[in-house]
Structure 1
Amino acid sequence: MNLSDITIDWPRISGFVLAAVASCVAGWYGQPLVHGNAEASRIIVNVFSIMAGVLITIMTLLGEPSLYRGRNWRADAVRRSNVYRRLVRQKILFVLYLVTLVLVFLSSLFKGEYSSLAVLRYIEIAYLSCACMAFILSMNLPGRLTSLQLARFDEMVEARRKAEKPRKEEG
Structure 2
Amino acid sequence: MSRKVDKEKVKLAICLTLWAGIFSYFFQPYIHENQDAVNVIVTVFSILAGFLIAVITLVGDPKSLPPGTWQVAELGSKLTYNRLIRKKWLFKVYLITLFLIFITILIKGHCPILILILEYAYLFSGFIGSVLSFKLPAALIELQTERIENEIQERRRAENITDD
TM over 0.5: yes
- Asked if the contact 1:24–1:129 (Cα under 8 Å) also holds between the matched residues in 2, the reply is yes
Structure 1 vs Structure 2: percent identity of aligned residues?
33
Is 1:146 aligned to 2:148, yes or no?
no
Is 1:15 aligned to 2:16, yes or no?
no
Task: Give the Cα–Cα distance (whole angstroms) in 1 for the partners of residues 155 and 67 of structure 2.
Answer: 13
Structure 1, residues 3-40: CA drift from partner, whole Å, max 9, x if none?
Answer: 2xx22222222112211211111111110000000001
- Asked if the contact 2:66–2:150 (Cα under 8 Å) also holds between the matched residues in 1, the reply is no
Is 1:104 aligned to 2:93, yes or no?
no
Task: Give the Cα–Cα distance (whole angstroms) in 2 for the partners of residues 122 and 146 of structure 1.
Answer: 38
- Asked if the contact 1:20–1:133 (Cα under 8 Å) also holds between the matched residues in 2, the reply is yes
TM-score norm. by structure 2 comes to: 0.91
Q: Which moved more, 1:7-16 or 1:130-139?
A: 7-16
Counterpart AA for 1:72: T
Structure 1, residues 41-83: CA drift from partner, whole Å, max 9, x if none?
Answer: 1000011011111111110111111332521100111111111
- Asked if the contact 1:19–1:137 (Cα under 8 Å) also holds between the matched residues in 2, the reply is no
Q: Which moved more, 1:11-20 or 1:101-110?
A: 11-20
Structure 1: any 5+ residue segments left out of the alignment? none
Structure 2: any 5+ residue segments left out of the alignment? none
Distance 1:166 1:147, change over 3 A: closer
Equivalent residue, structure 1, for 2:47: 50
Equivalent residue, structure 2, for 1:163: 158
- Asked if the contact 1:45–1:101 (Cα under 8 Å) also holds between the matched residues in 2, the reply is yes
The CA deviation at 1:149 is 1.3
- Asked if the contact 2:94–2:126 (Cα under 8 Å) also holds between the matched residues in 1, the reply is yes
- Asked if the contact 1:103–1:127 (Cα under 8 Å) also holds between the matched residues in 2, the reply is yes
